[in-house]
Structure 1
Amino acid sequence: MKARNILLSILGTLIVPIYLTSCGEDRWPAYAAETATDRWIDDSMRVWYYWNEEMPPSKEVNYFLEPFKFFSSILSKKDGKNSVPYSTIDSLVNVTRSIPYTDKSYGFQFTIDRVEDNDTAYYAHILYVAQNSPASAINMERGDWIMDMNGEPITKKNFAALYGSGAMKLTVGYYDVPGDTIIAYKVPREIAAARAVNDNPVFYKNVYERAGKRIGYLVYNHFSAGITDNSNEYNNDLRSASQYFASNQINDFVLDLRYNNGGLLSCAELMCALLAPADKLGQELGFLEFNTRFNPRQVPFNLDANLIQNGANLNLNTLYVITSDQTASASEMVINCLKPFMQKVVLIGSTTEGKNVGSRAFSSPELMITMSPIICMIYNSKSESDYDKGFKPDYAINENSNLAQFLPFGDPNELLLSTALGIIDGSIELDKKETRSLKVTTIANSIEKRASHAVRIK
C-alpha cells in the first residue's frame, strides 16, 4: 500500500463498534451496559491516542463517570493549551459534518469585544461574511459592529445567539474615524433565521501591480475539501485560483491565513503542491508520528504533483503569509513544511496558535457519541516540529491596532494586506509607529468555535 493511501485510510472518520477486543478490562460484567460508553472511549484511546502511555492504568480508572468527565480524566497534560485540550468529545447528534456551525449559521464570523472600559456591554465585530447567507442578504460586511440584538445589549450570557438562532433585529454600527468611536446606522437590520451556509474557504483572490511586480493575494479560511465530507468543490476552487494566478504571471504571493485554524491534511498537501518550487515536487514534504503501538510509527507524505490536477504549480521561492493567533494546525503545517523548500517564508501579523498535532474522529452510532483525540504529531522533511509555542511573525502587527484600516478583504489599504504589499514593493516604513485607535479587548472569537469539532487532521 502506498504511503498516501495509508494516510487517507488513517485520517478518515472511523466508525468503531461498541467494544474493541484487546485493550479494555471488563472488571464489572454485571454493569456492562452502564460502563459501555466509558469502556469504548478507553479502548479506542489506548489504541490511537498519541499520549496513550500517559493514560492511567485501566484498573485505576472509574468507568462509571459521565462520559465527558471520563474522557477528560484520561487525557494527558500535554494535550492542548491553557488547560483546554485539543482532543474533543461530543454527542453524535451535535456533529453533522467537518465544517461545524455552517449547517445553522447567519453566515458571519466575528469577535465579541469590550469597547474601551465598558465591562457590561459588548459589541460583535464582523471578521468576514459568507456569500449567499442571511448576513450578506442585509449587506453586512467585514468591519461592521453589531451593537445589540432585538434591542438588548450583547453580554457574555447572550452572545452565543450570534452563532445561529432565529430571525432578529440587529443594531449595526461602523467605526467613525474622526470621532474614534462606533456609531450606529440609523436603520436597524432584520436578519433572517440561521440556516445552512456555504462557507467557501477560497474566500477572495486578486492580483496587484506594484513597482513592476505582479502580486497574487489569496484569502483561504479553512482547509476543507468540499461542502460535504465526500465532495471536492473547495479543492477545485483552489485549483482554479492557482490557474488564475498562473495566467496573471505573478511574481510574488501573499497567502492570508489569519482566520484559518485548520482542517484536512489532504487540503494542506494540495496547498503545498500548488505553492512549492516546481523542482521540489515529488520530494518528501513531512511525516506524521503516531504512538509507539504503530508500526511503522512514522508515515511520510509528499509534495505530490498528482494533487494539482487541473490547477497550476506557482513555482514560488518566497511566500508571504498573513497570520493571527487563530492561525493553527494545518495552516501551521503549511508554513512549517514549506520552509525547507523556500528561500523565505515571511510571516506578517500575530504569533500563531502553535498546534503541531493532528486528530481523528471516532464515532459510535450505537452509543451516539463521537470523539476526536490527538493521534499524531506533524513534522516537516527536516524532522522539525518545534512550533508548539507558535510561529512568531517577522512583522508583528495586530489588525485591531488601527481600526481605520480594518477594511474589507482585498482593499489595498487594509492593514495587514497593505503591510504585505509594502514589504514586497519596498515602500513600507519599518520604523513607523503604529497608529492607535479605539481600544478593544476581545473576549470570544467565533473562529475558535468553528474548530471545536475536529474530525480529521486539524
Structure 2
Amino acid sequence: MMAKLRKIILIPALVIVFISGFFSCGVDRWPEYAHMTALDTWMYDIMQQNYLWYQDLPSYDDMNLFQEPATFLSNVKSKNDSYSFVDSVMETPLPTYGFDYSLVRSADIDTAYNALITYVIPGSPAAQAGLVRGDWIMKVDTSYISKKYETLLLQGTEARDLVMGVWKKVPVETEEGEESEETKYEYKVVPDDRTLDLPAARVVEDNPVHKYEILPVKENGRDIKVGYLMYNSFTAGTKAEPEKYNDELRRVSQEFQAAGVKHVILDLRYNAGGSLDCVQLLGTILTSSARLNEPMAYLEYNDKNRDKDVTINFNPDVLKTGVNLNQSSLYAITSSTTAGAPEMLIRSLFLKDSYPIATIGSSTKGQTVATEQFINEEFRWSVNPVVCTVYNSTHDNWGAIIPNDKLKVSETSIDGVTNYSEYLPFGDPNERLLKVAIGVIEGTYPPQEEKDKSKAQFKIEKSVSSPASRRFTGGTGLRIK
C-alpha cells in the first residue's frame, strides 16, 4: 500500500521539494503524510467500485488527494451528479429554538422586518412558547428585526421575549389635512398585544411523522373521512430505537383504517428524502391490496455490480403491526424541496389507469438515483456516492414530478395571490395547500368564480431554517442502507 501511494499521488512541485528534504536526511518520513491522503484515497477506491458513473472519475494521476473531503468529492464526481455527498459520522446535534421563519419587510419601518413562522418542531422551545405556523414576530426582546441583527435575534441560543403581531386588513392612515370620501384599507402586520416567552435553545428531536389528522370531507355529496399525514423524512428511527418512526407510521395506518379513511393526503413539501426501506413501508401501506407482492421499483447498478440489481416489491411482511389501507388514489403535496425518496414513492404508486395521483404544490427536484453510505471508521467520515438508478414498476424513471395542470399552487401563492390568512398550522383544513387538496376531493377546486382576494404586496426577503431544526438522519435524497 505504501509503495502504491508513492506511485499514485500527484504532488505539486513545491510540495515535492518540501518533502524531499525529509528523505534527503536518510529517514523515510512518508508515513507522516500518508494520513493526509488516506481519506481521499479511500473515497476514491470506494467510488471506483460502486459509483454509478465510475467511468467519469479522473485517474489517480489527475487528482489532488490533499483536499478536504467535500472539495475532493466535488472535483472528482461526474458532471451528471448533484446527489453524492460526504458527511461527518460524529456530527453532534446543535441546540435550537425549533422554528423556521421567513422575513417580510415591515410596511411601517423601512429597515425592519417581520418574521413569519413557517415550521415549529413539536416539543421544542418554540412550541413551549406557544409559537405556531402562521404566527408573526415583530420584535425580539425590545428590538425590531433587521437584517443586521437577525442572526443574533432569531438564531441565537438565549431565552427571548417575542413581541407578536397579526396580519390583517386595517384602515389606511390619512395624512394630516388629507380628506377622503371613503375609507381605504391595506393588509399589514400589526401588534396583537401578545408577548411570548421563548425558552433557551436546546437539542430537540424532530419526529418525521410531524402531524396527522382525520378530516371530515364531502365527496359527491356524501360524508367521508380523509387522512392527512405530514411526513417530513423517510427515516426509520434513531440509533437507540431503529424502528421508532416506522412504528409511528404503522400506528397511523391503524388509526386511518379504524376511522374508515377513504383518501389519504400525503404532505411531502418539506420531505428531502431518506431511506428506501421507509419508502417500501409507506408504499405498502398506501397501495391497493391488489398490488401487494407485486413490483414497486427496480434498482439497477453499474456493470461492476450487476449482482446487486434488485426488484423492490410492495411487501406485506414489512407492515408488521401496520395495515394496508387499500387506497385507489393519492393526493400528494409537493415542493421544490421534495426529492429522492418521496419522488420514488409517488412514481412507484402511480398507475395511470388504476392509481392516479393528484399532486399539489410545486415541481419536485427530479432525483431518479439512489446513494449508499460507506463509513470510514478511522476518520469518522462517510461518503455517499450515487450507486444505482431507480425505476418504477413500469420501468420508467421520469424526472421532476410536476403538479397537475389545474393544481399549480405553491407554498407562496394560490392563483398568483399572496394570502397570509391561509398560512396556517399543518393539518388545519384552511391551510392553503391542504385546502386545495380537500377542494380537489370535494370537486370545488379550482373555483368556478373568482372570489374577492386579498392582494398583499408582501415579498419574502429570506427564508431561514434555524440551526438543527430538522435533523433527520435519513434525509438527503434516496439512500440505501
What TM-score do the two structures reach when normalised by structure 1? 0.83
The residue that corresponds to 1:446 in the other structure is: 465
Is the aligned partner of 1:168 residue 2:160? yes
Alpha-carbon distance, 1:281 to partner: 0.3
Contact 1:221–1:257, Cα closer than 8 Å, also in 2: yes
Which residue among 48, 65, 78 is the counterpart of 2:50? 48
Structure 2 unmatched ranges of 5 or more:
11-28, 171-185, 414-418
Is the aligned partner of 1:323 residue 2:334? yes
Query: Which deviates more from structure 2 when the two are superposed, residues 235-244 or residues 195-204?
Result: 195-204
Cα distance between partner residues in 2 of 1:448 and 1:326? 18
Query: Match of 2:290, SS?
Result: helix
Cα distance between partner residues in 2 of 1:71 and 1:329? 20
Is the aligned partner of 1:198 residue 2:190? no
What is the root-mean-square deviation in Å for CA atoms of aligned residues? 3.3
The residue that corresponds to 1:359 in the other structure is: 371
Assess, with a 3 A threshold, how the Cα gap between structure 1 residues 118 and 67 changes in structure 2: closer, same or farther. Answer: farther
Assess, with a 3 A threshold, how the Cα gap between structure 1 residues 25 and 117 changes in structure 2: closer, same or farther. Answer: farther
Alpha-carbon distance, 1:229 to partner: 6.7
The residue that corresponds to 2:442 in the other structure is: 425
Cα distance between partner residues in 2 of 1:278 and 1:367? 47
Assess, with a 3 A threshold, how the Cα gap between structure 1 residues 170 and 358 changes in structure 2: closer, same or farther. Answer: farther
The residue that corresponds to 2:227 in the other structure is: 216
Is the aligned partner of 1:181 residue 2:173? no
Assess, with a 3 A threshold, how the Cα gap between structure 1 residues 303 and 78 changes in structure 2: closer, same or farther. Answer: same
Question: Which whole-Å deviations, capped at 9, do the CAs of 1:131-185 have from their partners, x for residues lacking one?
Answer: 2210111000011233454526353885497567343343433322444212344
Query: Match of 1:285, SS?
Result: strand
The residue that corresponds to 2:81 in the other structure is: 79
Query: Match of 2:264, SS?
Result: strand
Is the aligned partner of 1:299 residue 2:310? yes
Structure 1 unmatched ranges of 5 or more:
1-18, 81-85
Contact 2:95–2:467, Cα closer than 8 Å, also in 1: no
Assess, with a 3 A threshold, how the Cα gap between structure 1 residues 451 and 56 changes in structure 2: closer, same or farther. Answer: farther
Assess, with a 3 A threshold, how the Cα gap between structure 1 residues 61 and 421 changes in structure 2: closer, same or farther. Answer: same
Query: Match of 1:437, SS?
Result: coil
Question: Which whole-Å deviations, capped at 9, do the CAs of 1:60-91 have from their partners, x for residues lacking one?
Answer: 111123333222111222122xxxxx322244
Alpha-carbon distance, 1:456 to partner: 8.1
Contact 2:166–2:190, Cα closer than 8 Å, also in 1: yes
> Which one-letter code corresponds to 2:369 in the other structure?
V
Which residue among 90, 97, 118 is the counterpart of 1:106? 97
Identity of aligned residues (%): 34
> Which one-letter code corresponds to 2:117 in the other structure?
I
Cα distance between partner residues in 2 of 1:20 and 1:456? 37
Alpha-carbon distance, 1:256 to partner: 1.4
> Which one-letter code corresponds to 2:361 in the other structure?
G
Query: Which deviates more from structure 2 when the two are superposed, residues 120-129 or residues 392-401?
Result: 120-129
The residue that corresponds to 2:388 in the other structure is: 376
The residue that corresponds to 2:85 in the other structure is: 88
| Structure 1 residue ranges (4+ consecutive) displaced by more than 6 angstroms after TM superposition | 19-25, 115-120
Query: Which deviates more from structure 2 when the two are superposed, residues 434-443 or residues 39-48?
Result: 434-443
Contact 1:166–1:194, Cα closer than 8 Å, also in 2: yes
Assess, with a 3 A threshold, how the Cα gap between structure 1 residues 287 and 253 changes in structure 2: closer, same or farther. Answer: same
Which residue among 353, 358, 372 is the counterpart of 1:346? 358
The residue that corresponds to 2:64 in the other structure is: 62
Cα distance between partner residues in 1 of 2:103 and 2:388? 33
Is the aligned partner of 1:437 residue 2:456? yes
Alpha-carbon distance, 1:226 to partner: 2.0
The residue that corresponds to 1:8 in the other structure is: none
> Which one-letter code corresponds to 1:87 in the other structure?
S
The residue that corresponds to 1:145 in the other structure is: 136
Assess, with a 3 A threshold, how the Cα gap between structure 1 residues 198 and 418 changes in structure 2: closer, same or farther. Answer: same
The residue that corresponds to 2:269 in the other structure is: 258
Assess, with a 3 A threshold, how the Cα gap between structure 1 residues 346 and 192 changes in structure 2: closer, same or farther. Answer: same
Query: Match of 2:357, SS?
Result: strand
Is the aligned partner of 1:385 residue 2:397? yes
Query: Match of 2:478, SS?
Result: coil
Assess, with a 3 A threshold, how the Cα gap between structure 1 residues 452 and 222 changes in structure 2: closer, same or farther. Answer: closer
The residue that corresponds to 1:129 in the other structure is: 120
Alpha-carbon distance, 1:373 to partner: 2.6
Contact 2:87–2:383, Cα closer than 8 Å, also in 1: yes
Assess, with a 3 A threshold, how the Cα gap between structure 1 residues 161 and 314 changes in structure 2: closer, same or farther. Answer: farther
Cα distance between partner residues in 1 of 2:308 and 2:284? 25
The residue that corresponds to 1:337 in the other structure is: 348
Assess, with a 3 A threshold, how the Cα gap between structure 1 residues 106 and 67 changes in structure 2: closer, same or farther. Answer: same
Assess, with a 3 A threshold, how the Cα gap between structure 1 residues 426 and 390 changes in structure 2: closer, same or farther. Answer: closer
